[in-house]
Structure 1
Amino acid sequence: MGSNRLSGAAAVAVLASLLSTTGAAQWIDYPTPGTPRLPDGTPNLLAPAPRTADGKPDLTGVWRGAGPLYRFNIAQDLNPADIQPWAEALFLQRVRDSRKDSPLARCLPVSVPFHNFFNLTRIVQTPALIVMLYESPNSPHRTVFTDGRDLPKDPNPTWLGYSVGRWEGDTLVVTSAGFNDRGWLDSAGHPQSESFRLTERLRRRDFGHMDFEMTVDDPKVFTRPFTVKRERLLAADTELLEDVCENERDASHLSGGAGIVLSPALLATYAGVYELAPGREAVVTVTGDLLFVQGLGEPKLPLLAQSETAFVSTATPTGFEFIKDAQGKVTHLMVRGADGDRKAVRKGASAPAQRR
């Protein structure tokens, strides 16, 4: 099982089931029938993609989430003008509140984009429909109809919406609409509205790799559509784990305490580029009255202030402390984690344009 199955708040919800059952009872190491193998018995993930009787790519299998880069903050590549002011304000408030009202924390269903980045998904493909089973306590399954029907004209809004699919060559194109406005697009708290329309493109390029593309179009939340492209990997020789949400008991663990509020002017003195090691940098930026930190190729994470110089991540058990010289100028950043402290020297007071 990959590390992307257990991260942030999701790890807490899954932990209880891991402790209460044995791995042998869940077939997590049972060889998946029909899997091509290398001479040493390991799955050959570069073998040709399987096809159904009608010649279409067969997406059937257990697939890992699309990785950590966007699962905490799906809008991290957008500019401030790309997000409606009310939606940005709500997102920042949810971050300040340590996501205590997250659907995941309240044992409510989570959104389709949330599922696409977290944990495992089993795809079961038939000629007329495709079923997606999620390793999640709140949203166990989703149906994509591929029988030629259109989306409902006036649907009753639901958590996972309504989905239809069609084939464009070897790519499955899934269009979904009819969502309610209670879902969170990511674990940090970007909202969705009933105008939300989602387009996903899935192409199994070989046995173990799937090109995945997701376009978010919600004009009430964002001023323009945007697309995220990632890769999904086959999780061979494993199965989904049962995961049960226990209402208030889980909610108490999944919500944290809020930090203190610092002025944007003070936060601006911390913005800049910090070098952890040659070629490894962390970029600190300011949005409103919150700091964000992002490493190259890593998620953009908000930080909550615990004092004027000490902050904690809302997604990982990592602390950040800004160190100043005798003149009050920030010279470096201490990153405090379970494996010890790391010093990041400040290189500049502003982030590169493409990283803002």
Structure 2
Amino acid sequence: MRGLKHMAAVATAAVALATLPASPALADNHASAEMDRIGDHPNLNGVWQVMNSANWNVEPHSAGPNPLEAGDRLLGAIGAVPAGLGVVEGGEIPYNDAAQERLQYNRDNVINYDPEAACYLPGIPRATYMPHPFQIVQGDGDDILMVYEYASANRVINMEEVGIPPIDTWMGTSYGEWDGDTLVVTTLAQGPGLVKLPAGEMVEGVTWIDRAGNYITNNATVTERFTLREGGNHIDYHVTIEDPSILTEPYEMEMVLYRHVEDNAQLLEFKCVPFSERLLYGDLIEE
């Protein structure tokens, strides 16, 4: 395991990277990706983003109105939910009977209780398919850094054997290895602990994987596979989720990540804490 000082330094670098333009080497990746490798491995450096509606719902879903009762009146079609074919293989997450109560609780409180609305860190795999880009920073023989535009989130992929994380955290602890030309990342110990909801309610938090209330617990093992396609501008992204506390069996998700190929591709700031204050603390704010 790397030391905490190393992790803190890398995290600090991640925040700085999130506000800077891509380096010339990264900006030119779209021109040289077919030939570009770092050591023995494909070059995954660049700014990436999905083109799907998985953040609204990872299961197949029709277009629909704003989930909030007053949403249509306040926002019209701007707050509507776009349709999606879903990214879950088989179309449905295999929750067990014990998981249904929490699932229904989430669905009864979508948006208001969604960690995204409160600007809490999104966890894995959700950080990958939010409607914000993220950047992969890869060197030769070192840990890999993933930096997310949403909330300046980041994570270090520890390129070492899977271990036992010391504590649960919002983004968990990620371990990576190469399987041929595929980067395999295993993330454990995602657990936000107690979280504050609107009007001050405190609940034991879980990691939401979309805005529809689908979730995983701190017992989950999330295994991601990043495979760069020929041409270098697309990654086949495959996720396996194992969580015996809420699932009858593991399930898988698949989607494509698209490289931003514009010359000025970069992450911008989306520091959302100020945007969530009225939701969380509106009962304390004098109008």
Q: What amino acid is aligned across from residue 42 of structure 2 in structure 1?
A: P
Q: In structure 1, what is the Cα distance between the partners aligned to 2:116 and 2:46?
A: 25
Q: Deviations over 1:38-83 (max 9, x none)?
A: xxxxx559x515201x221111111113x32432223445577821
- Equivalents in 2 of 1:188, 1:252: separation in Å? 23
Per the normalisation by structure 1, the TM-score is: 0.54
Aligned to 2:220: 196
Structure 1 pair 88/36, CA: closer, same or farther in 2 (3 Å)?
A: same
The alpha-carbon distance between structure 1 residues 49 and 225, as it changes in their structure 2 partners (threshold 3 A), is farther
Taking the aligned partners of 1:233 and 1:49, their CA distance within structure 2 comes to 18
Tell me: CA distance 1:49–1:141, structure 2 relative to 1, closer, same or farther (3 Å). Answer: farther
Structure 2 CA distance for aligned equivalents of residues 109 and 249 of structure 1: 18
Query: Which residues of 2 match residues 61-140 of structure 1 at below 5 A?
Result: 61-65=46-50, 67-76=51-60, 77=88, 82-118=94-130, 119-126=132-139, 127-137=141-151, 140=153
Q: Secondary structure at the match of 2:207?
A: coil
1:84-116 per-residue CA deviation (whole Å, 9 max, x = no partner) reads: 234333333323323311112222111212111
Q: Deviations over 1:10-48 (max 9, x none)?
A: xxxxxxxxxxxxxxxx787x89546559xxxxx559x51
For residues 136 and 80 of structure 1, the distance between their equivalents in structure 2, rounded to whole angstroms, comes to 27
Residues in 2 aligned to 1:99 and 1:68: alpha-carbon distance in whole angstroms: 19
| Structure 1 partner of 2:171 | 160
Paired-residue identity, % = 26
| Inter-CA distance 49–73: structure 2 relative to 1 (3 Å threshold) | farther
Higher strand share: 1
Q: Aligned in 2, Cα 1:81/1:176: closer, same or farther, shift over 3 Å?
A: closer
Distance 2:23 2:162 in 1: 38
Q: What does 1:320-331 correspond to in 2, within 5 Å?
A: none
TM-score, L = length of structure 2: 0.66
Contact kept in structure 2, 1:58 and 1:125, CA below 8 Å: yes
Say which SS state the counterpart of residue 208 (structure 2) adopts: coil
Give the distance between the partners of 2:254 and 2:219, measured in 1 at CA: 22
Q: Distance in 2 between matches of 1:31 and 1:142?
A: 20
Moved more, 238-247 or 224-233: 238-247
Aligned to 1:304: none
Take 1:81 and 1:209, find their aligned partners in 2: how far apart are those partners? 26
The count of aligned residue pairs is 216
CA distance in 1, matches of 2:217, 2:232: 36
Query: In the alignment, what sits opposite 2:45?
Result: 60
Work out whether residues 133 and 141 of structure 1, in 8 Å CA contact, stay in contact via their aligned partners in 2: yes
Residues in 1 aligned to 2:26 and 2:236: alpha-carbon distance in whole angstroms: 21
In structure 2, do the counterparts of structure 1 residues 207 and 239 end up closer, same or farther at CA, with 3 Å as the change threshold? same
DSSP-derived class of the 2:102 partner: helix
CA distance in 2, matches of 1:34, 1:241: 16
User: Residues 86 and 74 of structure 1: is their aligned pair in 2 closer, same or farther, counting only changes over 3 Å?
Assistant: farther
> Contact between 1:74 and 1:186, CA under 8 Å: does it hold in 2?
yes
SS at match of 1:213: strand
Contact 1:49 1:204 in 2 (8 A): no
Asked if 1:240 corresponds to 2:267, the answer is yes
Do 1:131 and 1:143's aligned partners in 2 also have CA atoms closer than 8 Å?
A: yes
Consecutive unaligned residues in structure 1, runs of 5 or more: 1-25, 38-42, 254-356
Q: 1:211 aligns with which of 236, 253, 260?
A: 236
Give the SS at the match of 1:228. Answer: strand
Q: Which residue of 2 aligns with 1:283?
A: none
Q: What CA distance in whole angstroms lies between the structure 2 residues aligned with 1:212 and 1:87?
A: 27
Q: Could you say which structure has the larger radius of gyration?
A: 1
Cα 1:81–1:158 change in 2 (3 A) is closer
Relative to structure 1, is the Cα distance of residues 75 and 86 closer, same or farther in structure 2, using a 3 angstrom cutoff?
A: farther
Which of 170, 180, 205 pairs up with 1:169? 180
Structure 2 vs 1, CA of residues 74 and 120 (structure 1 numbering), >3 Å: closer, same or farther? same
Separation in structure 1 between the aligned mates of residue 40 and residue 93 of structure 2, nearest angstrom: 44
Cα deviation code 1:235-289 (max 9, x no counterpart): 1231111112213236589xxxxxxxxxxxxxxxxxxxxxxxxxxxxxxxxxxxx
Aligned pairs for 1:1-356 within 5 A: 32-33=24-25, 44=31, 48=34, 50-52=36-38, 54-65=39-50, 67-76=51-60, 77=88, 82-118=94-130, 119-126=132-139, 127-137=141-151, 140-146=153-159, 148-152=160-164, 155-180=166-191, 182-205=206-229, 206-236=231-261, 237=263, 238-244=265-271, 245-246=273-274, 247-249=276-278
Instruction: Quote the Cα distance in structure 2 between the aligned partners of 1:89 and 1:193.
Output: 14
Paired AA for residue 87 in structure 1: A
Alignment check: 8 A CA contact 1:114 1:187 kept: no
Return the alpha-carbon distance in structure 1 between the equivalents of residues 258 and 102 of structure 2. 33
What do you get for the CA RMSD once the two structures are aligned? 2.8
